Structures are given as structure tokens and as C-alpha cells.
Amino acid sequence: MTSRILAVAILIGLAWSCGGEPVVSDTGYVGTWTRGSERSRSTIAIVPDGDGYRFRVKMTTDNASRETSCDWEGLCIEKTNGKPVREHRFRTRVDPASGHLVVACESRRFDADEPDLHYVDELVVDPGGRTLQSYTIERDGVEIEARARPKRTFKKISDEVASPPEPRSR
């Protein structure tokens, strides 16, 4: 499996370096998704993990004043002007009723005066597999009514992900 992941990463790198476009098809949740502008961009990477998924997010601004980077275990550090300001911990699960990917985040400010945050998002892949909708369904223990749920739309940019994780040993 590790050699297959390495081979895929090499092929993606070769395609991009030769001017080829990354493959974008309907792979369900798996792949790389993005939203935003050149000024501020969020990118989500999702890979299969047994019966579930592993999730990683990255947020950057054009002037690097604010950035968030995560590992494949769900730990993220948010920085403002290079200083760590918040820690995020993501957990994923598949909702058995809908089959949708659910992502829960526990967020803690390093400044003790700021409150901790907890939110849960439900991810829904649109038909055709090229758009991912993220709906916030719970915030700080309070369920958000369906018609009032904040929605963010991500566009798929690749079936693959950069720097995929090593498979977990079972």
C-alpha cells in the first residue's frame, strides 16, 4: 500500500510539473477541495481510512498573516503573524443514517481569556462529485435548525491529496 501511495504521489507530481491538470472525478469524499480567493483560501484533504476517513484542513492568507495547518491525526495549529493562537482538534465519523461525513472540531485558544469552541459540520458531496457542501449542524452543544445552518461550498481540485498519510496498522 505504501508503494502505491508513493507511486500516485510521483505521478501527480509528474503530471503537474509537465503542465498536466490533476484528475477531478466523482470519488465521493476522497480528494482535495478548496474555497476562497487568492486573499484567503481554505483547502480540505480527505483520504479513506478503513470504514471511515481522515481529514486535514489548511487555511492561508496572501500575506501569511494568518494560517492554519493540520496533521493527519486531526491536530491543527492556527497562527496569526507567526504566533500560535489556537489549537483545533478534528474527529470524523460517517453518520449511519445519512451516510454523510461528519466532522467535529474542538477549538481552544492559547489566550485563556478567549472561550473554547465546539462545532460539528456535516459534509455532503453534490451529484457529480465536484462540489462539497459543509453545513454547520451544531455549535457549542446547540443543534442548528436545518434552514438556519451556515453553509460553505468547496470545489474539488484533485482526486488525490498532497502528502497522504501512512496507512494505519490494524
The residue ranking higher by pLDDT, 45 or 8, is: 45
* Conformation bin of residue 153: beta by default, left when phi > 0, alpha when psi is -120 to 50: beta
In a domain? residue 20: no
- The domain of 134 spans 25-158
In a domain? residue 152: yes
Per the structure, how many domains does the chain have?
Answer: 1
In a domain? residue 128: yes
pTM of the predicted model over 0.85: no
The per-residue pLDDT for range 73-120, each reduced to its tens digit, is 999 999 999 999 999 999 999 999 999 999 999 999 998 787 899 999
CA dist 52 and 31 (Å) reads 14
The per-residue pLDDT for range 154-170, each reduced to its tens digit, is 999 999 999 999 887 65
The per-residue pLDDT for range 14-73, each reduced to its tens digit, is 444 445 789 999 999 999 999 999 899 999 999 999 989 999 999 999 998 999 999 999
Residue 21, CA atoms < 13 Å, CB-side half-sphere: 5
* CATH number of domain containing 61: 2.40.128
Please give the pLDDT value at position 19: 56
In a domain? residue 54: yes
CA 94 to chain centre: 15
In a domain? residue 55: yes
